[in-house]
Amino acid sequence: MKGFSRGAVFAILGISLSLYLLQVFTPLRLTSDGIAYLSLAKSAITMMDIARTDFPFPKGYPVFIFLLMRARLFSPATLVMANILFFLTALAFTFRTLSSQGFQRSHATMACLLTLLSFSAVKHITQGMSDFLFFALAAIAFWSMTLSGRYKWLITLPCIASAIEVRLIGLALIFPLAAIIWPFAKKHWWRGLWGGAAVVAIVVAGAWAGRRYFSGNLHLLKNNGLGHFLWKNIIAHSQDFGELIANVPISKLPAWSHAFVLFLGASVIVLFFVGIVVLRKRSPMCSFYMIGYSCVILPWPFTDPRFWIPAMPFALLTIYAGGAALLTKPEVSIAARRAVLAYCLIFCLLGFGALGYSTWLTFSGPRFPYRYGDGLLRTTYLAGCSAPSAGVNQSALELLKAYEWHCQDTH
């Protein structure tokens, strides 16, 4: 990866950011999860029911959206801009963390750059999803753990608690936190007692916030049996890793290639676990973070590569460490480095393709309802400026009418 010159990195970064900024002109892009988040925040404006118990996700992100709506700042443009700012903040702090943990600056730069150009990040940057707010909070929390001095806890603990309230996966931050506290606990039991109490409190609060997730998993395990449950997990997460590494969603590939993507993903998972072991000596914090992340994500038997976006720089370097550990011969290592450089170039080109596609959607004008998504919300978008018809998602329609969807473009 040293073959990447500083000029090339800055050029890729500049083009990427320019294309990302063009997405502020997009119509409001809705998904099922996004509708749930935004609808809860919208209903809280008039009915103040943001504390309702039937909401299936943590409420940290709806609270953020509620504040934007309350201040009359919410729109598709501010939503996208907030996501971009959170994303860049997260990558900046992640780069500092990786550098402080002994990774080469070139490797840390490349891991963050590939995350920036991941198709999954490009896809979700325009949507009302919690991923980027969580990424920023988690990145700041992890960075603060690498600092020295007692006052770092004034940053670490609030950020971890906030991250868990935004996304349950924030529980993964408990693992590197425990790795920091443990050496002190062995030397000074009273410090360990206070640190352990803080960890237990955060775990209990997170477990309570994620009780629906855990109960849902237990329900699936009970109904499907252990063998079927494990098989679904293997397939789902092989697809996740396959899509992330190939930087192409499997839905955009021909059917004959799906088995190859799953095989690629399964192979990468093996390298990932090898890398976790390898990093145990170089960076215990990163190793424990990946263990914690895996403990929360991997038991969920459904595929969605966006779950890995907040940990993607760490995951990429973990996979790289696993692969490097298996290549011990110098001549193989030289060839492998060239292959990695070629892979990074291809990954970036595919990322630009994803950004180009997203920009095409952004400026689709009246064709947007026909081009966006899988068509399930097409009728809803078309009804955005006319009388509702059959098949309209009422919650989505209310959001479109309230928050500046470009309905005039449909005429």
pLDDT digit string, tens, across residues 47-60: 666 555 567 778 88
Q: How much is the pLDDT for 408? A: 44
- Contact of 41 with 138, CB cutoff 8 Å: no
- Give the domain range for residue 332: 75-363
How much of the chain is in helix, strand and coil states, percent to nearest 5?
A: 80, 0, 20
Is residue 405 in some structural domain?
no
Interval 282-332: pLDDT, tens? 888 999 999 999 988 988 888 889 999 999 999 999 999 998 888 765 555
Q: How much is the pLDDT for 59? A: 83
Q: What is the chain's alpha carbon radius of gyration, rounded to the nearest angstrom?
A: 22
Q: How much is the pLDDT for 67? A: 92
Tracing tokens 């449909």 back to the chain, one arrives at: 410
Q: How many domains does the chain have?
A: 1
Is residue 45 in some structural domain?
no
Is residue 232 in some structural domain?
yes
Q: How much is the pLDDT for 410? A: 45
Structure tokens at 368: 């947007």
Tracing tokens 């190939």 back to the chain, one arrives at: 246
Q: Among positive and negative, which fits the CA dihedral 157, 162, 165, 169? A: negative
End-to-end CA distance of the chain: 50
Is residue 106 in some structural domain?
yes
Q: How much is the pLDDT for 338? A: 80
pLDDT under 50: residue ranges of the chain: 1, 3, 408-411
- The amino acid present at 408, given as its one-letter code, is Q
Helices (H), 210-363: 211-224, 226-246, 258-282, 284-297, 312-326, 330-362
Is residue 32 in some structural domain?
no
Name the residue among 108, 119, 137 with its Cα closest to residue 316.
Answer: 108
Is residue 156 in some structural domain?
yes
Is residue 119 in some structural domain?
yes
Is residue 389 in some structural domain?
no
Structure tokens at 234: 């293997």
Which residues have CB under 8 Å from 144's CB, separation 6+?
152, 155, 156, 159
Q: How much is the pLDDT for 57? A: 78
What element of type H or E holds 287? helix 284-297
Which residues have CB under 8 Å from 42's CB, separation 6+?
69, 398, 399, 402
